[in-house]
Amino acid sequence: MNASASVVQSSSRRVDTHAHVFERGLPLADGRRYAPAYDATLDTYLQLLDAHGIGRAVLVQPSFLGTDNRYLLQALSRDTRRLRGVAVVAPDISEKSLTDMHGRGVTGIRLNLIEQALPDLRAKSWTPLLDRLSQLGWHIELHRTARDLAPMLDRLLEAGVPVVVDHLGRPDPDKGIHDPGFKTVLGYGKTGRVWVKVSGAYRCAAPGSSFVREATGRLLEHFGAERLMWGSDWPHTQYEQVTDYGQSLSTLLELGLDAAVVDAMLCTTAQSFYGFEEESGNRVASSVTTALQRAS
């Protein structure tokens, strides 16, 4: 049975695992690669979710806002049942700050390393943070070209931290699924501790190419639908003229995948991974209990 936009049932169960919200005038990070000259507000985003039958969503801290997560946390507070967050933090962030963000709907941190120096995750300065993330049950989301992912994946898995790989692993657009780095990423499917976002395909290949179909097929072979999650990548920063929300959803729905596979990638995998099955009050209680247990 193939899935199309009209076939996937219970659309309110759908989860968009990758979107950004921001406004002009917010404090910008030093060393940023760019900053959009427009607003992408939560109100606009929620309207898009409603229009496309998306019940839940994950807001990812934009790179150009750096470690100032105030706007992200403010957005999450609007609907703690519907929204989860992925923050950007400094390695020396306090345990108290992490616990507070956990109770407010944050489930992980992102390392956006595009055009950035690679961090030494084995350095002592990273060890306390990785330990805290593991204890909280958080994940790390990696955004980097495929050829550089393996050493970081090895270190994070060694530290007991689940990993989400952004945007289909970001293979070289000229090589696609034949990129040696992408082939290496496929090998991490057997760990059961790495997830991949089927998102931002326009960052990996020219529109209309066969890349998405080919890459998704290979990822399904190695990770299974239970380790793949769809994301819109709204508002498609730097690619606003290439795609829109509806097209990003259609990219998945028009692959001709089995309905059960689409349901996993669009609904059940993300619901479980981001804790949408938990009430926000339970998350707060859990974070406080965890903190008290570690302090005793």
CA distance linking residue 53 with residue 51, whole number of Å: 6
The dihedral over CA atoms of 59, 60, 63, 68, expressed in degrees to the nearest 10, equals: 70
Over residues 101-121, the mean pLDDT reads 96
Residue 253 sits at the vertex; the CA angle it makes with 277 and 48, to the nearest 5 degrees, is: 65
Q: What is the pLDDT of residue 118?
A: 95
* pLDDT value for 205: 87
Average the pLDDT over 251-277 and give the result.
96
Q: State yes or no: pLDDT of 106 exceeds 80.
A: yes
pLDDT tier, 206 (very low <50, low <70, confident <90, very high otherwise): confident
Whether 137 has a pLDDT exceeding 50, the answer reads yes
Q: What are phi and psi of 209, to 5 degrees?
A: -75, 170
CATH of 11-156+230-295, one of 2.60.110.10, 3.40.50.970, 3.40.50.300, 3.20.20.140: 3.20.20.140
Q: Report the distance separating Cα 69 and Cα 60, nearest Å.
A: 10
pLDDT at residue 280 tops 60: no
Sorting pLDDT into bands at 50, 70 and 90, what band is 9?
very low
Domain boundaries, the chain: 11-156+230-295
Query: Is the pTM higher than 0.85?
Result: yes
Task: State the average pLDDT for the chain.
Answer: 90
> pLDDT tens digits for 63-81?
999 999 999 999 999 999 9
- The whole-number average pLDDT for the span 225-229 is 98
Query: Which pLDDT score, from 0 to 100, does residue 260 have?
Result: 97
- What pLDDT is stored for residue 292 in this prediction? 32
Per-residue pLDDT tens over the stretch 153-194: 999 999 999 999 999 999 999 999 999 999 999 999 999 999
Tell me: pLDDT of 296 over 80.
no
pLDDT of residue 290: 39
